[in-house]
Amino acid sequence: MSNTIPDIVQTQVFNAPLQKVWDAVATADGIAAWFMPNDFQPVAGHAFTIHSPYGDSPCVVQEIDPPNRLVFKWGKDWVITFALKDLGETTEFTLIHSGWSPDTVTEFGESHAVVRDRMNQGWDSSVLPKLKEYVEA
52-64: per-residue pLDDT in tens? 887 899 999 999 9
d(CA 57, CA 80): 13
Q: What is the pLDDT of residue 97?
A: 98
Tell me the percentage of the chain whose pLDDT exceeds 70: 98
- Domain 6-134 in CATH 1.10.3720.10? The answer is no
List Cα–Cα distances, 46 to 15, 88, 108, 120, in angstroms.
30, 31, 23, 26
Radius of gyration of the chain (CA): 15
Beta strands in 1-137 (DSSP E): 8-14, 47-52, 55-65, 69-74, 78-86, 91-98
pLDDT value of residue 108: 79
pTM: 0.94
Give me the mean pLDDT over the 79-88 stretch. Answer: 98
What is the pLDDT, as a whole number, of residue 2?
A: 55
Q: What confidence score (pLDDT) does residue 1 get?
A: 46
- Every domain of the chain and the residues it spans: 6-134
- Band of residue 74 on the pLDDT scale cut at 50, 70, 90: very high
Residues 67, 72, 78, 79, Cα dihedral to 10° = 40
